[in-house]
Amino acid sequence: MITQEEYGSRRNALLEQLKNDSIAIVLSALPSSRSNDTEFPYRQNSSFYYLCGFKEDNAALLFLKSKKETKTLLFVQKKEPTMELWSGKRMGIDAARSLFLVDDVYGFDELESKLAEWVKKKSVAYYDFGMTNPVIARFKELTKKFYAHHNIWHLIASMRLVKSHSEITLIRKALEITKEAHHNALRFSKVGKYEYELQAEFEYIFKKNGAYSDAYTSIVAGGNGANTLHYIANNRRMQAGELLLIDAGCEYEYYASDITRTIPVSGRFTPAQRELYEMVLGVELEIIEMIKPGVKRSELQKRAEELLTIGMVDLGILQGRVRKLLSTKAHKKYFPHGIGHWMGLDVHDEAPYKEQNGKEIPLAEGMVLTIEPGIYIDENDQTVPERFRGIGIRIEDDILVSAEGHVNLSEGIAKGIEEIERLSQTY
């Protein structure tokens, strides 16, 4: 778990980046209404959580900085017995004051009056430009005159790029649980079952291991469904002889895992499936080997596109010279997405890929990213050999950049053909 001392060090690191005579606000997430008086399960704003670890709504962090001093103030929902009867217990001011290493704690209902008082003494304002919230609207109104406005998002997001030992430990735990779920999927009797039945197996394993939510809506896509990148209907019967693309990972204590495996429904790859799978797997392994400090994500993308294009030409999926195919982006028809993304508190971690000056951020020790090459061939694509039509394959792992190179945090999740077939139940 992440200690309050670590959260405190993050807040201090943020304060160091703020200009003098500034006021900065970071807010909790708003509850999301489902219908009438029901709501979706609440999840805290990741950047707010990153700075304090507080999971309740109606909360805010306020940072004050002058040449002489800095202050960090936390606002929380006061304890109200009637509200708690309906919605559950709150931590309240006194408990928050004893737990969080901040200068003071106030009730959330005091936030607007405190803002009106403190903005008079500052000339620089920081807030998340992308957040829509009544408090943000009021903050902008209070600071619209005589203030320089800065987007605090980039400061916090840049801090989130490099993971601490505690964060990596939580990601590893999420991956342990996700491994169990994916290996269960290999053993699960799939032929004739609905995709949502397997999705339910994933969600059960996540929750029984303390991962109370998935990191994103699971994709369980059999056959041609795998060629829809964000397929989440999960309502088709799984058919013998088809491949099944499963993109599923849990979230443990707010930290994500993101794993894709493509497995045979019947437990054995057909020759055509094997050919295409081995090509994609070879690309993934080579790209992972490239990862080390100083390498740029664009370099990984470029090499992945080259290797996949070469592989598709060798298999007869694309025709022509590799260089010309790349220049015309012919490969995008079958590999339309990026090679990977940052991962952490969010499955697509809210961290920048470029500096504010537009310069690409190279990989550095402590960063975590996914690597996920894929090939997607629609069943009606008459331009490719018939044996490959209707096949969609993606293989995805979560990689930590280390001082020496990299660590595949998910290497224990089966992806080799022989291992998949050995673990699978054959019917």
CA dihedral 407, 413, 415, 417 (to 10 degrees): 130
Q: Catalytic: 376?
A: yes
Catalytic member of 11, 160, 341, 406: 341
Active-site annotation holder among 138, 236, 268, 348: 348
Check: CB of residue 46 under 8 Å from CB of residue 28: no
Residues 183, 337, 387, 389: which is the catalytic one? Answer: 337
Quote the CA–CA distance of 344 and 354 in Å, as a whole number. Answer: 17
| Cα–Cα–Cα angle for 361, 363, 367, rounded to 5 degrees | 110
- Hey, which residues does 65 pair with through a beta bridge? 22, 70
396: annotated active-site residue: yes
Q: Which of 253, 394, 398, 406 is catalytic?
A: 394
Choose, from 37, 69, 404, 418, the residue flagged as catalytic: 37
H helices of 126-231, where? Answer: 134-142, 152-160, 165-187, 195-208
Determine whether 172 is an active site residue: no
For tokens 């100083």, name the residue. Answer: 294
Euclidean distance between CA atoms 90 and 166, whole angstroms: 26
Active-site residue (options: 372, 397, 398, 406): 372
Active-site pick, 5, 69, 165, 230: 230
Residue of 201, 305, 396, 397 marked active site: 396
Give catalytic status of residue 372 as yes or no: yes
Instruction: Reply yes or no on whether 196 is catalytic.
Output: no
Other CB atoms within 10 A of residue 134 CB: 10
State the Cα–Cα distance between residues 54 and 291, nearest whole angstrom: 34
The sheet carrying 406-408 orders its strands as 368-371, 397-401, 406-408
Q: Of 57, 195, 242, 258, which one is the catalytic site residue?
A: 258
* DSSP3 helix / strand / coil % (the chain, rounded to 5): 40, 20, 40
Q: Is 331 a catalytic residue?
A: no
Q: Which of 127, 255, 277, 376 is catalytic?
A: 376
State the catalytic residue, choosing from 57, 167, 195, 247.
Answer: 247
Residue type (1 letter), 261 = R
First-last CA distance in the chain = 43
- Alpha carbon of 228 to those of 136, 248, 376: distances in Å? 37, 15, 8
- Our answer to whether residue 165 is catalytic in this structure is no
Residue type, 40: F
- Give the integer Cα–Cα distance in Å for 84 and 95: 16
Residues 6+ apart with CB under 8 A from 377: 227, 317, 334, 384, 388, 389, 390, 391, 392
Cα 36 from chain centre: 30
Q: Which residues are catalytic?
A: 37, 230, 247, 258, 337, 341, 348, 372, 376, 394, 396
